[in-house]
Chains A and B, each alone.
Chain A
Amino acid sequence: MLVRVLLQLTVVVAVMTAVSTAAVVGRDRLSKTRREYRDRLKSAAPITGILAISLLFNSVAREIVPDLSWMIGWEVTEAFYNIEGGFVLWVQSYATPVATTYFSFVYIYGYVFLLVFPVVAYFALSDTRPLRELLTAYTLNYTLGLLCYVLVIAYGPRNMIPELAEALLYDTYPQYQHLTRQVNRNTNVFPSLHTSLSATVAMFAYRTRDVYPKWMLAAIFLAVSVAVSTMYLAIHWTIDVLAGLVLAYVSITLAERFVGRWSASDLIEEWPLVKRFAERWESLRR
């Protein structure tokens, strides 16, 4: 079941990315990329490595986070419900079969596409800084998000008020729960990483609007859809979505600073061990 869902996801996102690349990135940038990809890869390699490590760490940590947070975490489900009352219910009051299909699609496919495509699009730019910043911001989103998950135990609306907030996604398309439970636990709702990562992408798209004007519009539209979908599908509270926006902002601001401050070449100069490693790597490649 999981394999089928994953395959479907891969195919759909690959198609979406290919079409968007053709439409947004354009032939010129792609052919230039073919010539420059080595250098770009090299400059993006350190942060890609860090992101990969943090994702690996995340997948391991996910196993222990629930145990840890039930020992030290702060239970806030009831508080969230009391604070925001029925906002999610209000969103759900506009439920139609078409909207459910749309938001379910956006929550699964739209979201993954939103994360994958800018990596491709920014890789196609000679200036690797947006790419490096984006990957740094992803890393920060995941890492800070995980920290919040340890400290805060919260169940989403579908778990707290099932009689009011329908679990639209999982009741309509139960197969997707096989996928989402691989990457998340039902106590990890604060903040909404769907929202924070989508907002991160949208904010980057806004910054790079001169290069990719069409992408900005698409990204903002998709990011808003993803944020709404998390509430529409009763997976997140509004508070989680707002916290997601804050996390996105924090991640981008920090990413900007980090990328400016520590470039890989400085690192190589300053750390003899790293330098030696880099030299050996160079000699091996030749």
Chain B
Amino acid sequence: MDRESTLENGGVSRRTLLAGAATGLTVATSGCVRQVRSVVNRDTVDHLSVSIATVPADGDRESVQIANLLADNLETVGIDASVNLLAEEEFLRAILVNHDFDLYVGRHPGGTDPDFLYETLHSVYADEPGWQNPFGFTSMTFDDLLERQRVLEGDRRRDVIERIADSVAAEQPFVPVCVPDENRLVREDRFDDWDDHLATRLGYLGLEPLDGDGELRGIITDVRPTQNLNPLSVEYRNRGTIVNFVYDSLGTVAGDEVRPWLASSWEWNGSAATVTIRDDVQWHDGEPLTAADVRFTYRLLEDTSLGDSDVPAPSPRYRGQSSIVDSNAIEVHDERTLTIPMTGSQNVRERAFTVPILPKHVWTERTGGATVPGLPVEQATTTAVVAENVPPIGSGPFQFVDRTGRESILLERFDEHFSRADDELPEATVERFRVAVHPGSPSAIEAIESGSADVTISTLEAYSVDEVTESESVRLLESSSQMFYHVGFNVRNAPFSNPYFRRVVARLLDKERIVDELFGGHASPVATPLAGEWVPDDLEWDGDDPSVPFFGADGQLDESAARTAFEEAGFRYDDDGKLLARY
């Protein structure tokens, strides 16, 4: 009995013990596992590692140098940085079309009127290909300001633009670095009157030939125009100087104003323009150019599929200009007149006249989707934006004759062009215009100095400008520049979505030293993308950036100041001194 009871007791006590132990274990482990879960399910925070996209030194020696400087300074402050070299058209495709980048260093085409910031930063363009908002920057406050500057005039507009400039400087969606001097070399013994801006078509019209030879020989240092002459292709165009010889626009930029060109005049009726096209204008293939072509062009820029595609496919170029026009409400009155309803103040509206007018009979066939058998193609890719467009059929003062890939383009005067009949307008004075590709500025300079070319259409690279020997017949021409070097952030992704982070990165750039050392002084450091009279007083360059001053002095980075700034912005460093970030 005792034994039994002992046994029983023992039995009970064993059971109790087991039960108790099980409960205890469960309680204990459940707490433990929950804690493990809390620990394990927290993602590890990685070292931040970024890639800086840019172009190789051939053709643009400064971009890659800025990228290398930035990469070095990022490494110094504990961010792994690599520089990714891409061919020019591949680079533009990566940043402007695919938005596949962390950071990039490149040249921005800029703009004379500050309205170019509208397409550069408006949220509505964050997903579109082209120079319109490649950063993916979105801000309701900003959009409001950008829209207001479009409609305001005079001092009220100036105030808004000043606020925009200040906000851009504060937020740094991109870091404007410097404006390079635009230097070109011309020979004056064969042609005279080099007085219009040589990035525009007017620069090559109205030249005075000094000897009988009817050929103008220009030099470019970019092979892309020999491969593609599509005015809508953003990968193959910088400012489109070459294609603008072949195409006309309603108005042409002369200095600060837009002067009637293909249009003989325009009249404002409220914000709608009634445009009269010049008499008897023809395309290079002999077809007449009519008001229908103009309407077609604006509609094509708005949607290159002309409504056929499920998703609109806006043109990657001239987007800012086309957004001013209400293309669906354009009214064609007859062959030569049409009314174009627009939005915005007059300065802004006249920008819309600078787009190239395209022939309807050629481009209608290009509104379909581009296809490559067996491969998936992005939906909004129409033939219009990817066509090589060779030969280009325009109406401009020069018509295309021939090209040799990577070597040259031959243009000839279009004798039916309206400027030939109108004494008021500068016309093509040469019969042929040969554009040769040179591998770099040193070779271009040599060609001009030796007399085998007349003008460098591409600007001289900064490092080569000091090699120029001016003489009686060789002159260095400096023109105003709107293009600027900049560092772009992909603000779609962390940590670049954080303006505090961007500001600290901006402060790693010593713009003063970049200009002195990389550009040999042939550039001006800037704190704002705006130029000339539009630069607000508080953003004038005064030896350092007024908004994002360089950490350090004399090119020497103050590492601890930069690291402290990152920490103050909420970022942390690990024991190895590497910056941690979730991205």
A residues bordering B, Cβ < 8 Å? 1, 63, 66, 70, 75, 77-78, 82, 155, 158-163, 167, 170-171, 174-175, 177-178, 181, 186-187
Contact = CB atoms under 8 A, between A and B. Distances in A.
A63 B405 contact: yes
A140 B57 CA distance: 31
Interface string B446-463: 110000100000000000
B436 to A, nearest CB: 9
B84 A162 contact: no
Contact of B443 (A66, A75, A155, A178): A178
Given A159-B64, A160-B64, A177 B439 contact: yes
A160 B443 contact: no
Nearest to B406: A181
Secondary structure at chain A's binding surface: helix, strand, loop or mixed? helix
B68 interface: yes
A66 B446 contact: no
11 contacts: A1-B452, A66-B87, A70-B87, A77-B84, A159-B58, A159-B64, A159-B85, A163-B68, A177-B439, A181-B439, A186-B58
A17 B58 CA distance: 34
Interface of B: 56-58, 61, 64-65, 68, 82-87, 90, 405-406, 438-440, 442-443, 446-447, 452, 518
B83 A175 contact: no
Nearest to B55: A159
Nearest to B518: A163
Nearest to B375: A71
A48 to B, nearest CB: 29
Contacts of B439: 170, 174, 177-178, 181
Given A170-B440, A174-B446, A162 B87 contact: no
Contacts of B84: 75, 77-78
B56 A159 contact: yes
Contacts of B58: 159, 186
A175 B446 contact: yes
B440 A174 contact: yes
Given A1-B452, A75-B84, A155-B85, A162 B57 contact: yes
Contacts of A186: 56, 58
Contacts of B85: 75, 77-78, 155, 159-160
A259 B569 CA distance: 69
Q: In this complex, which of A158, A162, A170 has the most chain B Cβ atoms within 10 angstroms of its Cβ?
A: A162
B56 A155 contact: yes
A251 B84 CA distance: 32
B458 to A, nearest CB: 14
Contacts of A163: 65, 68, 518
A170 B518 contact: no
A163 to B, nearest CB: 5
Contacts of B61: 162
A73 to B, nearest CB: 10
A160 B440 contact: no
Contacts of B83: 78, 160
A228 B285 CA distance: 55
B57 A78 contact: no
A162 B64 contact: yes
Contacts of B64: 159-162
A187 B442 contact: no
Given A66-B87, A170-B442, A78 B65 contact: no
